[in-house]
Structures are given as C-alpha cells and as structure tokens.
Amino acid sequence: MGAEAGAAFILAGGRGERFWPLSSRRRPKQLLALVGDRPLLAETVRRLTPWIPPERTWVITNAEYVEAARQWLPELPPAQIVGEPMGRDTAAAVALALGLMLAHDPEGVFAVLPSDHVIGEGPAFLDTLRTAFRLASHRKALIVVGIPPTAPVPSFGYIEAGPAAEDTPAGPALPVRRFVEKPDVETARRYLAAGNFYWNAGLFVWQTPVLLAALRRHAPRHAELAECAAKAAGRPEFENVLRTAYANIEKTSIDYALMEKAENVLMIPANFRWDDMGTWTTLRNHFPADADGNVIVGDGVALDAGENIVYSPGRLTALLGVRDLIVVQAEGVTLVCRRDQADAVKKLVRHLHSLGRYEDLL
C-alpha cells in the first residue's frame, strides 16, 4: 500500500447502550441511521472513499455484527469486515488492526477511527487526514487528531497540547503533554478557557513499525496479539487464534494502554465539524428545535413544554407541562428520563440485564 496511499480501520464493535431502546444487542448504534438515511458506519466508509478506497478499508466489529455490516457495506471485500470474538475495548481492536497491517503492508501508514461520529465538511476532514498521514510517514511519532472544543463538555476526553507547534515536513504539529479522562464540568470550563486543550475524538494515525514498537514497550500483551493476528491472517486458523488471544488479553482502551504512556505523540488540530453521537442529547445538534426548545424526531406534540428531546417515529408522543426530558418510543419500549441523566441510560440497561426478564429488548 505504501505510506502515501494509506489504509483505514474503522472500529465498530460497540453497542451504543446510551441510545437504548433504539440501539440494542441485535442492532447496535453504528448500524442505525440516527442522522441521515444511512447507518453511521456506512457514512464513515463513504466519508473516506474519495481518498481511501474500499480495497484499503477494513471494519473491525463484534463477530455477531459481521454479516449485518457486510450487508450495509457491499463495496468492501467481505474479508475486510473482521469480527472480534469478544469485546476487549479499543486497545485490542487497535492491536488487531496492526496485525492485519503487518500482514498486508508492514511498512504502511494507517488510520484508526470510530464508526459512530458525525463529521462535516468532507474535504476538510480528508485534508486533515492527509496531513496526519504525511506526518506519520516522516516522523516516528503517534499522531492524534484533536478537536478544538466549543463548549465545556465533561463527557469527552481531552488532550493537552504543548505551547508551540513543531515544524514538520507535513506542516505544524503540536506536541502532546497529556491525555485527560472525562473531567468534571468545572475542570472542563478551565480547559476551554486555557485554549490549549482539545477533545479526543479517538482518531489516530500511525506508521505500522512505529505503533508496533510503542506497543512492545508499553503494552507487550497487545503487541503479541498483533503479531499472532499477522501470522494467522488469511489462514483457516485465524478465528481460533483470535479467540485464544482475546480470551487472555486485558480489557482496556488504547488511550490507557498506550497513548497516555507514550512520549512520541503529536497532535494535529482538526478543521472540520465533529460530533460524537454519544447520547440522546446529541440529537439537538442535528435536528431543529421549536420555539420552546423542544427537539422532536418523528411524531410528537408539546404543549406548555420546553427543552425536551422526543424520538418517536410512527407513534404519537404528546408532552404536557414538562421540561428537560428525553422521551423515546422505539422497539416496543418507552424511555423517559431527565436530559441530565442521558449518560445514565447505559446504567439502566445494565440494571435491566440484571433483572433477567427483558433480554429480548436489550
């Protein structure tokens, strides 16, 4: 493939429990058309295609979603939609991507990006990606794209950038001081005011040997997973090798396993619109509100009600005299919660699992 051509690996293994009841084990968030007419995963592939064509694009998802992903992505070679035997978070998925790159292009440059983000300005996104690829091909560094924050959002991870840009053959890049997990809202306000903190969108670009060396140093078990996957790629034993490797690997994020520990990290600020479709509240960024601040997707009526989010296609939902609620009608389930509890929907799903009576709805 080569560094200039590049490759992309889209991580699509999550279930999006915060979008329950629309998102479920049978139909996870990345396979939903939350914004537009096509699933988020299909839109992610389409966004890349003007530069990175299907033959250099892989999807890494849960094994149970492989067939559904192939149906939505007929343009991708079926073998390039790869199923993980179990969820082990993003560090394992990145290690698997690295293994596939070692098998196909051991000196190449590749991107890893989530499947469930909404990104505007397609040309600007690809320009940023090209810059990251050029930088990764010239520097032995781990490259991350940072999103300039527009609000003090406590549910995002943050990147603190150094004080000055480094001149590189690909243009200026900012040294990364540290990665910060989700802060409280007051800390997020300080980050916004400081001007040198960026949202971490989970969009990374690496040269294959550089990433392998970094994993060997900071996450050797994940380096071993990558090397096992590389040796078994394209062989009949591939799935069995993955199953054994995943059963013995720690469940952790790539941020914690590697990026927070590595010293050779550079950041490129994004110049495109970005939104993490993390909870029901993000619908406010993509659908118009009425005069009272209600966002209604589907059939809904609000009287003396304000600042609510309603998702109710094909079924009338009527609100009277309430504020700051999320109301969802989907898959035979009604969800009602306060807007400030949107993150806790995942906790509710786990509680329902523990009751053991609603597995067909989860």
Going by their DSSP bridges, the two strands 166-168 and 171-180 should be labelled as antiparallel
Ranges in the chain, pLDDT < 50: 1-3
* Extended beta strands in 104-153, E state: 109-114, 117-119, 142-147
Q: How far apart (Å, rounded) are the C-alpha atoms in residues 154 and 187?
A: 8
* Cβ proximity of 352 and 358 under 8 Å: yes
Tokens 């991580």 locate to 11
Looking at residue 194, what is its pLDDT?
93
Q: What tokens appear for 111 in the block? A: 């991107």
Looking at residue 6, what is its pLDDT?
85
List all residues 6 or more positions away from 10 whose beta carbon is below 8 Å from its beta carbon. 41, 44, 45, 57, 58, 59, 60, 113, 114, 115
* Cβ proximity of 215 and 97 under 8 Å: no
Tokens 């997707």 locate to 297
Looking at residue 122, what is its pLDDT?
74
Q: What tokens appear for 352 in the block? A: 């329902």
Neighbours of 299 (CB within 10 A): 14
Q: Is 22 left (phi over 0), alpha (psi -120 to 50) or beta?
A: alpha
Q: How far apart (Å, rounded) are the C-alpha atoms in residues 97 and 91?
A: 10
Q: How far apart (Å, rounded) are the C-alpha atoms in residues 15 and 257?
A: 22
Tell me the CA end-to-end span of the chain in Å, nearest whole number. Answer: 41
Looking at residue 3, what is its pLDDT?
43
- CA distance readout (Å), 271 to 119, 124, 131, 316: 11, 6, 11, 40
Give Cα 309 to chain centroid, integer Å: 23
List all residues 6 or more positions away from 196 whose beta carbon is below 8 Å from its beta carbon. 160, 161, 162, 163
Looking at residue 168, what is its pLDDT?
58
pLDDT in tens, 261-290: 999 999 999 989 999 998 999 999 999 999
- Residue 289 has φ and ψ, to the nearest 5°, of -100, 155
Q: How far apart (Å, rounded) are the C-alpha atoms in residues 158 and 147?
A: 9
Q: How far apart (Å, rounded) are the C-alpha atoms in residues 197 and 187?
A: 11
Total count of residues recorded for the chain? 362
* Extended beta strands in the chain, E state: 7-12, 57-62, 81-84, 109-114, 117-119, 142-147, 158-161, 166-168, 171-180, 197-207, 265-269, 274-276, 295-303, 309-320, 325-330, 333-338
* 8-state DSSP, 265: E
* Cβ proximity of 94 and 112 under 8 Å: yes
Measure the CA angle with vertex 169, ends 168 and 170; round to 5°. Answer: 85
* 8-state DSSP, 298: E
Looking at residue 16, what is its pLDDT?
85
Q: Which of 254, 248, 243, 244 is nearest to 83 (CA)?
A: 243
Q: How far apart (Å, rounded) are the C-alpha atoms in residues 63 and 221?
A: 22
In which element (H, E) is residue 229 found? helix 220-232
Looking at residue 1, what is its pLDDT?
42
